[in-house]
Chain A
Amino acid sequence: MNADPKSYNKPDRNMLLESDVDSLAQAVVTLTQELWVLADRQLVTEAVLAKHGIDLAEEVDLHQPDEDLQAKLDDRSRAIMKRVFNSLAGISSDE
């Protein structure tokens, strides 16, 4: 038998090194952007759905936000960024 089977519970494994954190940060921001694209899409979908009562993917794609929606989108994107960036920067946030 393996002398220490419990060592398999948390195997020692070569994972990220300190020198990898820059790439990690790049990936995190990419992920933030991806997330934002989804969140944005959802909001636009809601706006379009509210108008028509049905899901129109093409309409969502072509939808050019009016001023009100754009302001809402801007606020939401900034809030998401702040949460991610602030945690990356070690800034505590009470959100």
Chain B
Amino acid sequence: MSEELHARLRQRGRASVDFLANMGFGMSDMRNSVEEEIKRIVPDPDALPDDLDQRDARMQQSLGASTAYRASQAVGEWMATHHGLTAKHAFEEVRDEIEPVLKKFEEGGSTVEASPDMEAPAYWDGVDFHRTAGGWEEHEYQGYIHADIVHTRLVAKSFPGGIWSQRLMVAGLAPKDHYDKIIDLGCSTGHFTRALQETYPDAEITGVDLSLKTIQQAQRLGNANGWSWKLYQRPAEDTGFEAESFDLAGSYILLHEIPAHTIKQLFKEAFRLLKPGGDMIMSDVTRYSDLDKLAVWRADAGAKYGGEPHWRESASLDLAEIAREAGFVDVTAQSYPPFNYPHVVQGRKPA
């Protein structure tokens, strides 16, 4: 984030946001106590039920007897319902100072094409992903609030592996040293777009996302850095761009936010958009197949209470197989240590 775009929060907002950023540490005793309890009730993860709903029912029943578990759930619920509100209030305190900066960076080489008549798909419309209050579109500056406050001040503080370096690492995995035209699918506020641009400085980058508010923030990020991104409010699985118009098609943690049938469409669309010989690189959350039954339960419960309605079906997919079905060749899928995160699928459109 360019320094100018980084808000200097006032004390109330700053301290409220810091409070949230420190909650993981504040909850550590409680979490350790829950971990002890889990060890006691699940001596062998393999013995847990195969069916994910039954597995959760079993875990909830056993853990329900633990005060520490119930308390950690209650505090977790508060985090889920309050992070978006806290971020919004912190923004409102500095709105007068930051708004002219935001407006200024809406001018420049990076452009946004809105689609006011677009029919938002049912899997996305009205869903408060991450349980962010009001979803992606409610607040005029939701994209900014999410990028500068939620991501930079909260998520980046404690995310294992670091949210910026992971994106740069993935951008660098694409096989060629140079790409003329890149498309970032589900570009949101432009974190991965930035990693792509920094890795391929001469590339002309197009980004698509269903959320107008997030791509408006990507536009500001692009302009603040002197980049000329073409950003469109369009579904990634049906972009409407001409076939064979890109050299690299990528996405970063988009897939777990869309259902399985849309993921299949998305890979086909990426294939269509690529020039012959073009490269595809899609990264997403840890595959359930890379985790033991207990870890899957944790991820699945995290999704259930964390506003991720499509996570389960998405994380259960074999993305390499879907890529091959879409026509890609030389397909590889790799999960990166130490958390098997991100999971990265790559492939090439035959020349």
Contact = CB atoms under 8 A, between A and B. Distances in A.
Interface of A: 21-22, 25-26, 29-30, 32-33, 36-37, 40-41, 44, 60-65, 73-74, 77-78, 80-82, 85-86, 88-91, 93
Given A41-B12, A82-B26, A85-B71, 7 more contacts: A22-B74, A25-B74, A30-B82, A61-B11, A78-B22, A90-B71, A91-B68
Given A22-B74, A88-B74, A64 B8 contact: yes
Given A36-B19, A60-B11, A74-B22, A89 B72 contact: yes
Contact of A77 (B18, B68, B81): B18
A77 B78 contact: no
Interface residues on B, range: 20 to 34
Nearest to B93: A61
Contact of B12 (A37, A78, A80, A85): A37
B42 interface: no
B71 A37 contact: no
Question: Is chain B's binding surface mostly helix, strand, loop or mixed?
Answer: helix
Given A81-B26, A82-B29, A88 B18 contact: no
A55 to B, nearest CB: 13
B10 interface: yes
Contacts of B71: 25, 85, 88-90
A86 to B, nearest CB: 5
Contact of A41 (B11, B22, B30, B82): B11
A74 B16 CA distance: 12
A37 B15 contact: yes
A32 B18 CA distance: 13
Interface in B3-19: 8, 10-12, 14-16, 18-19
B78 A26 contact: yes
B18 A74 contact: yes
Q: Which of B12, B19, B72, B86 has the most CB of A within 10 A?
A: B19
B25 interface: yes
25 contacts: A22-B77, A25-B71, A25-B78, A26-B74, A29-B74, A29-B78, A30-B78, A33-B19, A33-B86, A36-B15, A40-B19, A60-B11, A61-B11, A62-B10, A78-B22, A78-B25, A80-B26, A81-B25, A82-B29, A85-B26, A85-B27, A86-B29, A86-B30, A89-B29, A89-B67
Contacts of B15: 36-37, 40-41, 73
Interface string B52-76: 0000000000000001100110110
A63 B11 contact: yes
A36 B18 CA distance: 10
Contact of B11 (A26, A44, A88): A44
Contacts of A36: 15, 19
B77 to A, nearest CB: 7
A37 B86 CA distance: 12
Contacts of A44: 11
Contacts of A21: 74
Nearest to A45: B11
A81 B8 contact: no
Contact of B23 (A40, A81, A90): A81
B29 A73 contact: no
A21 B33 CA distance: 20
Nearest to A88: B71
A74 B8 CA distance: 18
A82 B22 CA distance: 11
Contacts of B8: 62, 64
B22 A81 contact: yes
A93 B29 CA distance: 10
Q: Which of A60, A74, A77, A85 has the most CB of B within 10 A?
A: A85
